[in-house]
Amino acid sequence: MDFDLDDVLDLESDFYEEGYNQGLNETTKQEYTDGKEYGIQISFQRFLVMGYYRSVIEHWKTILLAKTTENDRKASTLLNTLNKLAYLVDNLSFENTEENGLIYDSTLKKIKYKLRIINTQLINMKIGINDNLRNAGTLLTDIGGRLEIDNGSSSTDVDNGMW
Mean per-residue pLDDT pooled into runs of 10, the chain (163 residues): 68 87 93 89 84 89 82 85 92 82 86 86 72 54 54 46 35
Chain centroid offset of residue 141 CA = 10
pLDDT of residue 130: 57
pLDDT of residue 51: 87
How large a percentage of the chain has pLDDT more than 90?
17
pLDDT of residue 110: 87
Report the alpha-carbon distance of residue 160 to residue 163 in Å, rounded: 8
Indicate the helix (H) or strand (E) that contains 139: helix 139-144
Report the alpha-carbon distance of residue 135 to residue 20 in Å, rounded: 50
pLDDT of residue 73: 84
pLDDT of residue 98: 84
**DSSP-based three-state secondary structure for 148:** strand
Report the alpha-carbon distance of residue 46 to residue 38 in Å, rounded: 12
Report the alpha-carbon distance of residue 88 to residue 110 in Å, rounded: 9
pLDDT of residue 67: 78
pLDDT of residue 10: 77
**DSSP-based three-state secondary structure for 155:** strand
Note whether 151 and 145 are within 8 A (CB): no
